């Protein structure tokens, strides 16, 4: 449960109390399939990508279902792996046995005792993790997270508030600059491209259903511009009654990670990317 309280003079007309309650039962992969968040082909692809230790960034607006999707994707992490989770409020409840949960802390009234996400990311690197999961990247910890992804801590995952994959990269670049680094933009963007394999864009639509809009793969740089290609998309067709009508569809592009995963003896059927229309998850 997340609670936010305000008092006058911040709120002119009186006190307010905003409460965001999470469901008693954690939503899992099959639940998201039933809700129409993604298609079975997308779920299979993401499960194999997580198992193959590719680095993922989930992007979306407030209430889009980023944390829920992060928890569902974490189901695919092998049970023997050591996982470090870093959150402002501990909300991830993973099934694996070797999980170390870390939480930031605000300073006390004397301004002491603050624990920042960046401190926890740096500390996590000393704990021999197989994976690091940052619940949401908000500030200078973005630099340490990218460096961790680039230095052998594969299979890391995080979320960011952004309205598109391209916007997510722009926000990450800004947050890296918060760290006080004097790295030029080109160096920061090269780090992002080499660290991240996939960006998953999620959105809460007008009918209240949270859907994956795009799964995009990072492919390199052209000049100063990071390049990416869409692997799956949600293509809306208007409304069917009060429900948004549309289809989850592959773009026909076979992602580069397929060959990398095959080298790890993880076989991804090419039919996932060339199978045509997928109407699952819609009524």
User: Mind listing the pLDDT tens digit for each residue in 87-102?
Assistant: 988 888 899 999 999 9
Inside any domain, residue 279: no
- Name the residue with tokens 């007309």: 13
Range list of H helices, 10-140? 29-35, 40-51, 66-73, 117-124
Question: Encoding tokens for residue 30?
Answer: 């099959």
| Per-residue pLDDT of the chain in tens (283 residues, 90 and over written 9) | 778 999 999 999 999 999 887 766 788 999 999 999 999 999 999 999 999 999 999 999 998 999 999 999 999 999 999 999 999 888 888 999 999 999 999 888 888 888 999 999 999 999 999 999 999 999 999 999 999 999 888 999 999 999 999 999 999 999 999 888 888 999 999 999 999 999 999 999 999 999 999 999 999 999 999 999 999 999 998 888 888 989 999 999 999 999 999 999 999 999 999 864 443 433 3
Distance of CA 276 to the CA centre of its chain: 26
- What are the tens digits of pLDDT across the range 116-163? 999 999 999 999 999 999 999 999 999 999 999 998 889 999 999 999
Nearest to 60 by CA among 203, 235, 207: 203
Inside any domain, residue 253: yes
Inside any domain, residue 280: no
Nearest to 277 by CA among 235, 216, 215, 231: 235
Inside any domain, residue 282: no
The pLDDT of residue 281: 39
DSSP 94-148: ---SSEEEEE-B---TTS---B-HHHHHHHHTTS--SEEEES---STHHHHHHHH
Reduced DSSP (H G I as helix, E B as strand, rest coil) percent helix, strand, coil of the chain, to 5: 30, 30, 40
Question: Encoding tokens for residue 190?
Answer: 């090269």
Inside any domain, residue 94: yes
The pLDDT of residue 275: 67
Inside any domain, residue 185: yes
Inside any domain, residue 56: yes
Q: Could you tell me the residue range of the domain that residue 122 belongs to?
A: 2-274
The pLDDT of residue 135: 92
Inside any domain, residue 281: no
Nearest to 211 by CA among 247, 255, 161, 160: 247
CATH number of the domain residue 88 falls in: 3.40.50.300
> Residues 46, 77: contact at Cβ < 8 Å?
no
Dist. CA 198–CA 25, nearest whole Å: 28
Number of domains composing the chain: 1
Q: Look up the pTM and report it.
A: 0.90
Quick one: which H or E segment has residue 276? none
């Amino acid at each position: 449960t997340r609670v936010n309280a305000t008092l006058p003079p911040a709120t002119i007309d009186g006190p307010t109390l905003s409460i965001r309650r999470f469901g008693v039962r954690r939503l899992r992969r099959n639940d998201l399939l039933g809700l129409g968040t993604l298609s079975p082909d997308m779920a299979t692809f993401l499960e194999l990508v997580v198992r193959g230790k590719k680095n993922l960034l989930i992007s979306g607006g407030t209430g889009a279902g980023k944390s829920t999707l992060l928890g569902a994707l974490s189901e695919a992490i092998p049970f023997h792996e050591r996982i470090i989770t870093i959150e402002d409020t501990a909300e991830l409840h993973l099934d694996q046995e070797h999980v170390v949960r870390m939480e930031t802390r605000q300073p006390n009234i004397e301004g002491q005792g603050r624990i920042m996400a960046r401190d926890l990311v740096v500390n996590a690197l000393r704990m021999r993790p197989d994976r690091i999961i940052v619940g949401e990247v908000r500030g200078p910890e973005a630099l340490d997270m990218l460096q961790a992804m680039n230095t052998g801590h594969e299979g890391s995952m995080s979320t960011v508030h952004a309205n598109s994959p391209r916007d997510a990269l722009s926000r990450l670049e800004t947050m890296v600059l918060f760290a006080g680094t004097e790295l030029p933009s080109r160096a920061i963007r090269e780090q992002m491209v080499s660290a991240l394999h996939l960006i998953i864009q999620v959105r809460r639509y007008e009918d209240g259903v949270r859907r994956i809009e795009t799964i995009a793969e990072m492919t390199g740089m052209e000049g100063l511009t990071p390049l990416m290609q869409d692997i799956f998309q949600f293509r809306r067709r208007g409304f069917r009654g009060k429900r948004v009508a549309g289809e989850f569809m592959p773009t026909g592009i076979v992602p580069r990670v397929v060959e990398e995963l095959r080298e790890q003896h993880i076989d991804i059927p090419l039919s996932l990317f060339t199978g045509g229309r997928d109407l699952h998850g819609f009524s």
